[in-house]
Amino acid sequence: MDAKPDITPETFESALQARADAMAEACTRCGKCVEVCPTIEAAGLSLEQRQNPVDVIDGIIDILHHGEGNEAARKWADGCLLSGECIKACDYGVNPRFLLYMARIQMAQTKHDAATMRRGGVEAFRLVARDSNHIARLQLDDALLERLGQGVRPSPSPATPEPPDFVFYTGCNVLKTPHIALLALDIMDALEIRYDVMGGPTHCCGIVPMRLGDVATSGRVAENTIDKLSQSKTGQVVSWCPSCQVQFTETTLPTIEKTRGAKPFEMTPFTLFIRKRLDRLRPLLRQLVPLRIALHRHPGIAGVVEAAEDILRAVPGVKIVDLQQPAVGLQSNNLRMLPAYRRELQERELAAAEAAGIDALVAVYHSDHRELCAHERDWPFRIMNMYEIVGLSMGLHRDDHFKRLKIMQDVDAILADCRDLIEQHGLNPETTRLAVQAMLDEQPAPLRGTTAPSPACGRGPG
């Protein structure tokens, strides 16, 4: 009998490594991605280092080959805010943002052993789950939790086993600002879109362990979630969170495609999904919303800023003012590794908004809303999410309890305000207190009359 060929099945880890190796191989080291990166200076590279882009990318490739790289490359990898300008600049089909992510993972793996990385991942995930579960429950009753796929009981089997047209994937952290996610669902209902909602910590994208270097756990978690999300009739998942979007589309899905031979589904950001349906939305935008607004912009996912502007321009009465501020990063939360830079950007934007005399500073993403909303207390304009404005025109409204609570700036007052829901959900008072404190601590630009926040406030995927 012939000996069986020795074929080792591809694991998530080996497939990810193979993708990183192939991309590093395809890189010509032209240095263009370094030249266009908008945050390379804020990441701390000296003028001399910035003037040698080829050295910087050389260092990244060396890290990917398990070397130490060089100081400039390590700073660049650490300071990457996922703006994505580098992806547009590369003429060779390489995704430099993915290369930098893989370099960061490699750097984390050289600092810690496997057990430490696993423990760190578990601990970080526990905090993300604690905060999103508790902050959501301070605002929602059981029925609304159920609506966001966070029911206490498993949903009963549907009478018709027909799969939905789409799965709407919330991720974890939008649950802290549930009015945004609920409005997204209300808008899809009005457009007669058939969907199932999935998300929360039980449907983790795996970004937390991966960031800490634990690729094996990240792969297991993500595969589990991907199997749950692979249920739509159209093979389409609509994502809310930009961090989940980048993690799935640039890291996890292509890697699983390599191990399984097929991509489980396509993933589309919610705002691009709605932009595609703008002709169906337009007749539903009936009410005048006379607001001069400015858009808080992050360019990390190509086309989202433009799509958001198109949607907002379709709302009768809305006038968009350009504050001429820099747009960097994937969302506010992704700027946390450069706290002074993030604070400066936000303070300059608030001042520009006041000078322009706008009625509202409007964000697309949930982490932007979390970080900015309490400033409404101190500035002469509102802080809103774009789907609140779309909702106003459609006659849809959801109360923004998150902003109301955050503006209180007092843990005891917030706990007293939410006493009924804390009892209803049987929340542990001490854990709830910790989650509320973490909510108040996430304040990159301090409110007027308060002290500066801790430098790296705002943890977790988004």
Give contact residues for ligand SF4 (rule: CB under 6 A).
27-33, 37, 39, 57, 80-86, 89-90, 92, 94, 96-97, 100
- The DSSP secondary-structure symbol of 247 reads I
Quick one: 100 or 117, whose CB is closer to ligand SF4? 100
Distance CA 346, CA 357 (A): 17
Distance CA 68, CA 106 (A): 10
> Within 13 Å of residue 186, how many CA atoms lie on the same side as its CB?
20
Quick one: 59 or 84, whose CB is closer to ligand SF4? 84
Report the nearest approach of ligand SF4 to the CB of residue 132 (Å): 25
Strands of 166-169's sheet in order across: 195-198, 166-169, 236-239, 266-269
Report the nearest approach of ligand SF4 to the CB of residue 310 (Å): 24
Report the nearest approach of ligand SF4 to the CB of residue 18 (Å): 18
Helix H or strand E encompassing 238: strand 236-239
Report the nearest approach of ligand SF4 to the CB of residue 197 (Å): 30
Helices (H), 82-174: 85-89, 96-111, 114-137, 142-147
Radius of gyration of the chain (CA): 22
Report the nearest approach of ligand SF4 to the CB of residue 59 (Å): 11
Report the nearest approach of ligand SF4 to the CB of residue 99 (Å): 6
Nearby residues of 198 by Cβ (< 8 Å), 6 or more positions away? 149, 167, 168, 169, 170, 228, 229
Per DSSP bridges, beta strands 319-320 and 292-296 are parallel
Report the nearest approach of ligand SF4 to the CB of residue 330 (Å): 8
**Torsions phi, psi for 393 (to 5 deg):** -70, -25
Report the nearest approach of ligand SF4 to the CB of residue 281 (Å): 31
Report the nearest approach of ligand SF4 to the CB of residue 256 (Å): 23
Check if the beta carbon of residue 422 is closer than 8 Å to that of residue 415. yes
Check if the beta carbon of residue 330 is closer than 8 Å to that of residue 407. no
Quick one: 77 or 360, whose CB is closer to ligand SF4? 77
Nearest alpha carbon to residue 176 among 436, 426, 361: 436
Distance CA 120, CA 3 (A): 43
Quick one: 39 or 225, whose CB is closer to ligand SF4? 39
Q: How many CB atoms lie within 10 A of CB 161?
A: 6
Quick one: 83 or 332, whose CB is closer to ligand SF4? 83
Distance CA 369, CA 332 (A): 9
Quick one: 58 or 359, whose CB is closer to ligand SF4? 58
Quick one: 30 or 408, whose CB is closer to ligand SF4? 30
